[in-house]
Amino acid sequence: MKGNMEERAVRLAQYIIENRTTVRAAATKFGVSKSTVHKDLSERLPTFNRPLYLQAKAVLEENKAQRHIRGGIATRQKYKGR
């Protein structure tokens, strides 16, 4: 999803909010890097759509708080042979 960066930032934020997904999942869905997702959401989006940025930031903060749990689950599955 190349092209208009503002439009991409809005679509990324909407996707993350609607699906309560991670940065990694959004990057895969849109075919961009995680760095691009972070830059779009943290630097570009607040300049032109602050309310949407705040909603997306809340989801990202929730994901950040839960990441140690997801990491533990992934490690457990790895050693269980899944």
Res 67 pLDDT > 80: no
Per-residue pLDDT tens for 9-66?
A: 999 999 999 999 999 999 999 999 999 999 999 999 999 999 999 999 999 999 888 7
CB 34 within 8 A of CB 24: yes
pTM score: 0.80
Determine the Cα–Cα distance for residues 55 and 13; give it in Å rounded to an integer: 8
Domain limits, the chain: 5-80
How many angstroms separate the CA atoms of 66 and 64, rounded? Answer: 5
Bigger pLDDT: 71 or 48?
48
**CA proximity to 9, closest of 32, 47, 51, 37:** 37
Tell me the CA distances in angstroms from 70 to 3, 14, 29, 55, 66, one per residue in order.
33, 23, 20, 22, 7
Q: Is 29 buried (19+), middle (13-18) or exposed (0-12) by CB count in 10 A?
A: middle
